[in-house]
Amino acid sequence: MPGSVEVKKLFLSSPKYAVVGASKDQSKFGTKVLKWYLARNKDVTPIHPKEDELEGVRTIRQLSDLPTPTETSVSIITPPKVTLGILEQAKALSVPALWLQPGAEDEAVIKYINDNGLGGKVIYGGPCILVEGDGIIKSLL
């Protein structure tokens, strides 16, 4: 079941986080998600191909630049075509869990998740960390 409580708990149990899709645009969801982590003092790294820093945090260029990908849950707020490439990298890097914000997936992305046995690691199909995140963190305490 995509976005099950178990996957959300797995996601929010990580010591580190990364956000793909944050930008300089304060109104965009990627930036709102990045700020959500920062407001909760989470160890978060924005991933952006061109910017050097976002919200005062140093960025890295791509997922493979993460120092410890196996300990980093990744929030993805990108168009589905971009999401697909990120999922491929995440699988190769053994990222423990990924949260696709609403709109980051399409049929091809969902097919990739199912074909590659990533169903137990990926949250998709609607839930938003901005809405559900705090409740899940509380449930982990």
pLDDT of residue 127: 81
| CB contact at 8 A, 92 and 68 | no
Query: Along the 141 residues of the chain, how does pLDDT read in single tens digits?
Result: 455 889 999 999 999 999 999 999 999 999 999 999 999 999 999 999 999 999 999 999 999 999 999 999 999 999 999 999 999 999 999 999 999 999 999 999 999 999 999 999 999 988 899 999 999 999 998
Count the domains in the chain: 1
Q: What is the pLDDT of residue 2?
A: 55
Question: What pLDDT, on the 0 to 100 scale, is given for residue 3?
Answer: 59
Residue burial 109-139, b: 16+ Cβ < 10 Å; e: rest: bbebbeeeebeebbbbeebbbeebbeebeee
Reported as half-sphere exposure (CB side, CA atoms, 13 A), residue 82 has a value of 16
CATH code (residue 9): 3.40.50.720
CA 91 to chain CA centroid, nearest Å: 13
Q: Output the pTM of the full model.
A: 0.95
Q: Whole domain around residue 28: which residue ranges?
A: 5-140
